[in-house]
Amino acid sequence: AAVCIAISSAAAATSVNTTDFVGCLALHLPPGIVYTQSSESYSSVLEFSIKNLRFVTPATPTPLVIVKATHATHVRVAVRCGAAHGVRVRPRSGGHDYEGLSYRSLDAARSFAVVDLAALRAIRVDVRSRSAWVESGATLGELYYGIANKSARLGFPAGVGPTVGVGGHLSGGGFGLMLRKHGLAADHVVDAIMVDAKGRLLDRAAMGEDHFWAIRGGGGGSFGIVVSWKLLLVRVPATVTVFTVHRPRNQSASDLLTKWQHVAPALPRDIILRVVVQNQDAQFESLYLGRCAGVVATMTKMFPELGVTRRDCIEMSWIESVLYFAFYGTGKPKELLLDRGTKPDRYFKGKSDFVHEPIPRDVWESTWSWFLEDGAGLLILDPFGGRMGRVASSATPFPHRHALYNLQYYGFWWDNTTEASEQHMSWVRGVHREMEPYVSKSPRGAYVNYKDLDLGVNEYGGDGGGTSYETARVWGEAYFKDNFERLAAVKAKVDPSDFFRNEQSIPPLGLPGGLKS
Residues 125-144 that bind ligand FDA (CB under 6 A): 136
218 is a site residue for ligand FDA (CB under 6 A): no
Stretch that binds ligand FDA, among 6-14, 78-86, 90-98, 385-393 (CB under 6 A): 90-98
Please choose, from the candidates 517, 13, 475, 496, the residue with its C-alpha nearest in 3D space to the C-alpha of residue 219.
475
If we measure between CA atoms, which residue out of 405, 407, 451, 448 comes closest to residue 215?
A: 448
Q: Is 378 in the site for ligand FDA (CB under 6 A)?
A: no
- Of 154, 26, 168, give the one whose Cα is nearest residue 85: 26
Stretch that binds ligand FDA, among 6-14, 155-163, 278-286, 463-471 (CB under 6 A): 155-163
Q: How far apart (Å, rounded) are the C-alpha atoms in residues 69 and 86?
A: 20
Query: Mapped to the 3 state alphabet, what secondary structure does 278-341 carry?
Result: ECCEEEEEEEECCCHHHHHHHHHHHCHHHCCCHHHCEEECHHHHHHHHHHCCCCCCHHHHHCCC
Size of the site for ligand FDA (CB under 6 A): 33
Contacts of 59 (CB under 8 A, 6+ apart): none
Name which of 167 and 377 has its Cβ closer to ligand FDA: 167
* Residues 6 or more apart in contact with residue 422 via CB below 8 angstroms: none
Stretch that binds ligand FDA, among 15-23, 220-228, 316-324, 460-468 (CB under 6 A): 220-228
CA–CA separation, 306 and 62 (whole Å): 48
Q: How far is the CB of 176 from ligand FDA (least distance, A)?
A: 5
Pick from 117, 189, 234, 323: which binds ligand FDA (CB under 6 A)?
A: 117
Q: Is 225 in the site for ligand FDA (CB under 6 A)?
A: yes
Binding mask 421-460 for ligand FDA (x = CB under 6 A): ----------------------------x-----------
Scanning 55-63, 88-96, 333-341, 428-436 for contacts with ligand FDA by CB under 6 A, the matching segment is 88-96
- Helix (H) / strand (E) containing 202: strand 201-202
* CA 153 to each of CA 149, 175, 189, 336, 432: distance values in angstroms, whole numbers, following the listed order: 10, 20, 19, 20, 40
51 near ligand FDA (CB under 6 A): yes
Query: Taking CB under 6 A as the rule, does residue 167 contact ligand FDA?
Result: yes
92 belongs to the binding site for ligand FDA (CB under 6 A):
yes
CB of 287 or CB of 296, closer to ligand FDA: 287
Q: Tell me which residues touch ligand FDA (CB under 6 A).
A: 51, 90-98, 101-102, 117, 136, 159-161, 164-165, 167-169, 171-172, 174-176, 220-221, 225-226, 449, 502
